[in-house]
Amino acid sequence: MFRTLTFTLTMIKTLFFILGTGFLLTTLSILSISEAAVIAVDYGTNWFKVGLVKPGIPLDIVLNSDSKRKTPSVITIRGEERIYGTDAVNLGARFPFNTYFSLKQIIGRLADDKYVQAYQSIFPNKIIPDPLRGTILFQHNETTTFSIEELLAMQLSYARELAEATAHESIKDVVITVPPYYNQFERQAILDAANIAGLHVLSLINDETAVGLNYAITHFSSFTEEPQYHIFYDMGAGSTKASLISFKTVEMKDVGRFNKTVINMDVISIGYDKTLGGQEIDIRLRSYLAEQFDKTYEGKLKKSIFKSPRAMTRLLKEANRVKQILSANTETVASLESLHEERDFRLTITRSELEAMIVDLVKRVNGPIQDVLNNAKMTLANVNSCVLVGGGVRVPVIQSKIKEIVGEDKIAQNVNGDEAAVLGAAFRGAGLSRQFKVKEIKIKDIASYPIKVDYESELKESEDGSMKNKIFRTILFDEYTSVGTRKIMSFKRTSDFNFSINYGNLNENILDDFGPTDIATAKVTGLSDIVKEHNDNGIEQPKVKVTLQLSDSGIVSVIDAIATIEHQTISDKIKTFFGVNNKSDEALKEVPFSDEESTPSDNASQSIPGENNTQTNDTEQIQKKTESIPLNLEVEYVGIKPMGINEKDAAIRRLRAMDETDHRRRAREEARNNLESFVYNMQDFLSDQIVIKVSTDKQRKELETKSSETSEWLYGEGEDASIESLRTRLHDLRSLEKPIVYRRDEHTRRPEAVDTIQSAINNTREFVEKIKANTTGERYHTDEELDKLLNVCNKAEKWLDEKIIEQDKIEPHVDPVLTTADIERMLREIEREFIIVATKKPPKKKVTPPVTNDSENTNNVNNTDSDPKSTTTHVEETPAKHDEL
């Protein structure tokens, strides 16, 4: 009980942190059920950010090892070593083939995809197709390849490590942001990578949805029953996305007579430009700089700078730097030493020159805004504000273009665009983990693309006598369907059948760079056998209900296929055959999804009962019994297959082995650092005045010799020494140093310790004197008790006096006879007796003066408060020692 209570209080405190000052406590409450942290990763093209939700600490961004709030999404692999973030960026120019940038652009794509081609025109890494899946493998060196999922998994692992260092616990649960335009394959690749990293993905979340959620949390009090519409416009490094989201409050019945206010947040439409982003600006600028370089040294170069991956990698970094400076200045200098063929590069570049390079990009800024409005059938007049997110919107010419489009007054202020997505995602994680109770914000996010099911009817005799079947193509989830929806398809069938799931009705613009559109084929079997077996048992044509799901993460899957068979009576025979019987879904509302007569319209599929299939309404009131039999379901993923179990296991083993090497390497580095700093600090130690006093020349000489010997060894033959020999050396040195450190510490602390015990003795005696001297009140301490306390004091004093004399006789470089540990022990002895006396309560009297209610404190009653020192010295320690009594 007590624990729960304090914990709740902690959480309420946390809450204030989360909410800032402008919120009511009731608007959001996180109550932890069990202490398990959840993280969110906003994995971007250039940067990733990590958010942490953990009971007891405020929801916040995790700092990386450089104490920064964001980390470059870059990894370098050198031999056995993996390097992340800024260090990897810096190594990128030296090891361009072993450093991986901007993986987000090509995750979940086929190796021959146009995005991959574009990627290869920017980065020199060698890409080959995975022989099984056609996906991306990086040829790291002659002997090693890494799949893109593995490289992403390493970075997710690293993100988790950063969070674990902050949370001081291991973390499994994660929410990861993805662009809303990611399709099934791109989403699946992220899930596979997380899986390899040993993370449990609570959900993927579209990044603008996360930004919207963060907006909902920070603008909670401004919502009303009247919906507000906001456009979230996000120009990141890789792409630009816009979402139109509405927010309103809804009163809902809560327990008892209470209502609660729930926020409804609906994603209404999305728009995007998959290749418009900050990185495209960097690339333009880089090309310009490279051209200028070639021009400057025309005729003097062996080969063009464009042919040097190292120089081009450095130049891309420089272009990014120049771009950022030009956001705040009108002119700057690009400068790199020994850039290519030992030649330096220096060029003044102005903001207007940069702007001239991106005129066409600026024109595209409007695209996502228009799309989002068109898709929602709304105009800017309906929109309350436009929230700008991402690094791209900080480029002045981009920002002024957006202002020109939406009007300056509609640009929302005071929104932390950089971290909104990761904070929103972390909040979502808190809600999904069930470890926290989070204020209800009902989120409706949309599917982004229509998902279609294709199937054929059973063969039927047509008018001309030939056997024919019809082909049906039905949109099951349209692009505005909420994610987290289930739909049931109902087929009238007498034999096994199959159907395929794919992205349907995509317009040409989308198809152009979409990737594969086929998602899966599903085979339903077992039906033919059942029908054959019981053909003569009065079974009518069976219906088969197939449940499909569009998960919160936007992944389509087939859940199950169940045959429902109606017949007049239940013969015991069938009963025993079917085993299971009569579920309550016998009257599930059937929507004509059959391949009978008429082609099912798109509209019909919309009305298929969704999420809850226990709806009951007897539309067929005939006295029939219904049996439900699960059928076999074989789903084969096509398009881009998810990673297979074996592939994943191999990747997990491989990463684990690399992790172990990393840990060993880090442990060795630590051992080396410890030894280095020991040796480094030795001179200071040896020249310390007290150290000189408490050690002999011989001892110091020995330590010095051994230390400089180690120093030489460290930078000589010990360069590659094993962790064990590093540790042994340190241990040997420490064992020489240890006795000196001991004497030094004793020497320093002894006077104070002696003083402490002496005043303890004095104060205790004074305390006893006062009790004995009190003649006004009735004394309830016996002489025996008081004498016992005095005896301890006397004994301690005697011991101390003897020891002091003894100690004075010996040299300081000999181990002391009067140790602080012994003094401490003596002090505890006095304290123990003191507490017995001091906490003794007076006997209860029938007739008591009115001062009774503070009986707990009567231990101090005999103490005239004339001498505060006497109480502080001892009583202060009482609470700590209390339990032992």
Ligand X SMILES: *[C@@H]1O[C@H](CO)[C@@H](O)[C@H](O)[C@H]1NC(C)=O
Give the residue from 482, 480, 445, 427 showing the smallest Cα distance to 220. 427
Binding residues among 502-541 for ligand X as defined by CB under 6 A: 521, 523
Binding pattern to ligand X, positions 552-591, x when CB under 6 A? ----------------------------------------
Q: Round to whole Å and give the CA distance between 483 and 550.
A: 6
| Closest to ligand X by CB, 353 or 458 | 458
Strand 543-550 with 259-273, pairing: unpaired
Binding pattern to ligand X, positions 70-109, x when CB under 6 A? -------x-xx-----------------------------
Tokens 């335009």 locate to: 181
Binding residues among 325-354 for ligand X as defined by CB under 6 A: none
> What one-character DSSP code corresponds to residue 511?
H
Among 399, 525, 774, 807, binds ligand X (CB under 6 A): 774
Is residue 857 near ligand X by the rule CB under 6 A? Answer: no
| Closest to ligand X by CB, 85 or 600 | 600
Q: Round to whole Å and give the CA distance between 605 and 499.
A: 15
Give the 3-state DSSP-derived string for 673-731, with helices as H, strands as E and coil as C. Answer: HHHHHHHHHHHHHHCCHHHHHHCCHHHHHHHHHHHHHHHHHHHCHHHHCCHHHHHHHHH
Among 22, 56, 407, 777, binds ligand X (CB under 6 A): 777
Among 4, 8, 141, 382, binds ligand X (CB under 6 A): 141
Q: How far is the CB of 832 from ligand X (least distance, A)?
A: 20
Q: How far is the CB of 294 from ligand X (least distance, A)?
A: 32
Is residue 862 near ligand X by the rule CB under 6 A? Answer: yes
Q: Which residues, 6 or more positions from 236, have their beta carbon under 8 angstroms from its beta carbon?
A: 44, 45, 46, 277, 278, 390, 391, 392
| Closest to ligand X by CB, 318 or 552 | 552
Q: Round to whole Å and give the CA distance between 673 and 425.
A: 38
Percent of the chain as helix, strand, coil, to the nearest 5: 45, 20, 30
| Closest to ligand X by CB, 287 or 858 | 858
Binding residues among 595-624 for ligand X as defined by CB under 6 A: 601-603, 612, 614, 617
Tokens 């301690």 locate to: 796
Strand 385-389 with 228-235, pairing: parallel
Q: What are the φ/ψ torsions at residue 210 (nearest 5 degrees)?
A: -65, -40
Q: How far is the CB of 509 from ligand X (least distance, A)?
A: 24
Q: How far is the CB of 578 from ligand X (least distance, A)?
A: 24
Q: How far is the CB of 862 from ligand X (least distance, A)?
A: 5
| Closest to ligand X by CB, 164 or 560 | 560
Is residue 291 near ligand X by the rule CB under 6 A? Answer: no
Among 738, 864, 872, 882, binds ligand X (CB under 6 A): 864
| CA 147 vs CA 87, 228, 771, 783: distances in Å | 22, 44, 82, 85
**Alpha helices per DSSP H over 454-526:** 508-512
Q: Round to whole Å and give the CA distance between 55 and 50.
A: 17
| Residue number with the smallest Cβ distance to ligand X | 777
Reduced to 3 states (helix: H, G, I; strand: E, B; else coil), residue 465 is: coil
By CB under 6 A, how many residues form the interface with ligand X?
Answer: 32
| Closest to ligand X by CB, 348 or 607 | 607
| CA 74 vs CA 59, 71, 159, 162: distances in Å | 25, 8, 12, 15
Q: Which structure tokens are listed for 70? A: 């964001």
| Closest to ligand X by CB, 551 or 774 | 774
Q: How far is the CB of 884 from ligand X (least distance, A)?
A: 26
Q: Round to whole Å and give the CA distance between 530 and 580.
A: 14
Among 6, 144, 569, 571, binds ligand X (CB under 6 A): 144
Among 861, 871, 877, 878, binds ligand X (CB under 6 A): 861
**Any bridge partners for residue 245, and if so which?**
230, 267
Among 112, 331, 456, 512, binds ligand X (CB under 6 A): 456
Give the residue from 545, 540, 543, 544 showing the smallest Cα distance to 568. 540
| Closest to ligand X by CB, 86 or 762 | 762
Q: How far is the CB of 763 from ligand X (least distance, A)?
A: 8
Is residue 287 near ligand X by the rule CB under 6 A? Answer: no
Q: How far is the CB of 471 from ligand X (least distance, A)?
A: 10
Is residue 754 near ligand X by the rule CB under 6 A? Answer: no
Q: How far is the CB of 266 from ligand X (least distance, A)?
A: 19
Binding pattern to ligand X, positions 228-267, x when CB under 6 A? -----------------------x-------x--------
Q: How far is the CB of 115 from ligand X (least distance, A)?
A: 26
Q: What does the angle CA 45 – CA 48 – CA 51 come to, to the nearest 5 degrees?
A: 150
| CA 299 vs CA 221, 294, 303: distances in Å | 67, 9, 9
Is residue 143 near ligand X by the rule CB under 6 A? Answer: yes
| Closest to ligand X by CB, 435 or 862 | 862
Q: Which structure tokens are listed for 524? A: 């339903």
Give the residue from 271, 212, 268 showing the smallest Cα distance to 480. 268
Interface ranges with ligand X (CB under 6 A)? 77, 79-80, 140-144, 251, 259, 456, 498, 521, 523, 601-603, 612, 614, 617, 755, 758-759, 762, 770, 774, 776-778, 861-862, 864
